[in-house]
A = this chain, B = another copy of it.
Amino acid sequence: MSEKKGLLIVLSGPSGCGKGTMVAEILKRGDCAVSVSATTRAPREGETDHVHYHFISREEFERRIAEDGFLEHAQYVGNYYGTPRKEVEEMRAQGKHVILEIEVQGAFQIREKCPDAILVFTIPPTLDELRRRLHKRGTETEEVIEQRVARAAEELPLAKQYDYIILNDDLQDAVDDFGAMIRAEMLKPAYQTERIGEMLSC
């Protein structure tokens, strides 16, 4: 049997609910990869081109939008950010499950363009716990923390439109949930059809 195409998994969830830590753990599996986003903003200190982002000009970004070169894109504070379609497709063709950490609107854009994308929403145990984690992280002011908690409360109802909801209370449980989801997705007919075809010819 030829190597199977990898899954495309979009991971969303409130800031502070541990998506980054989850992804770092998941990447240890070896069959998953993350894609590098493109942006028009200037690199910050310590950021390397093609590692943290593909830093490209505004003209280049707009040319690629016109060519349908992004699975999703958005503007924040005057800069473009986007997920390059070709890079994701190449990794999937190599059998890697590609994980994209993307906010809600981008996730729905990707579902439009790739109906086989799997949308996963991570949630904290409670909004109080989310607030506690953001305080512990200590990188935001009190005001920003309250804005994030309010934003999370607004976004949570959208989780129902995702394919899966993973509670990130215990990190290992959440990572195991993610692994079970990948295993289950690969049992779906779209992934198994090749094998059935082979059986019929035997």
- Is A188 within 8 A of B202, CB to CB? no
Complex CA distance for A153 and B196, rounded to whole angstroms = 10
- Is B184 within 8 A of A123, CB to CB? no
A199 within 8 A of partner (CB): yes
Complex CA distance for A181 and B185, rounded to whole angstroms = 8
A128-B202 in contact given A165-B188, A183-B184, A188-B164 (Cβ < 8 Å): yes
Interface residues on A, range: 35 or more
- Is A200 within 8 A of B165, CB to CB? no
Shortest Cβ gap from A2 to chain B (Å): 16
- Among A46-54, A101-109, A154-162, the one that faces the other chain is A154-162
Copies of this protein in the complex? 2
Contact string against B for A residues 121-159, beta-carbon threshold 8 Å, 1 for contact and 0 otherwise: 001101110000000000000000000000001001101
- Is B184 within 8 A of A153, CB to CB? no
A181-B187 in contact given A165-B192, A165-B196, A202-B127 (Cβ < 8 Å): yes
- What chain B residues lie within 8 Å of A157 (beta carbons)? 196, 200
Interface residues of A (CB under 8 A from B): 123-124, 126-128, 153, 156-157, 159-167, 176-177, 179-181, 183-185, 187-189, 192-193, 195-196, 199-200, 202
Q: What are 24 A-B residue pairs whose CB atoms fall within 8 Å in the complex?
A: A123-B192, A127-B199, A127-B200, A127-B202, A156-B196, A156-B199, A157-B196, A161-B189, A163-B188, A164-B184, A164-B188, A165-B189, A165-B195, A165-B196, A167-B192, A167-B195, A177-B183, A179-B180, A180-B184, A180-B187, A181-B184, A181-B187, A183-B184, A184-B184
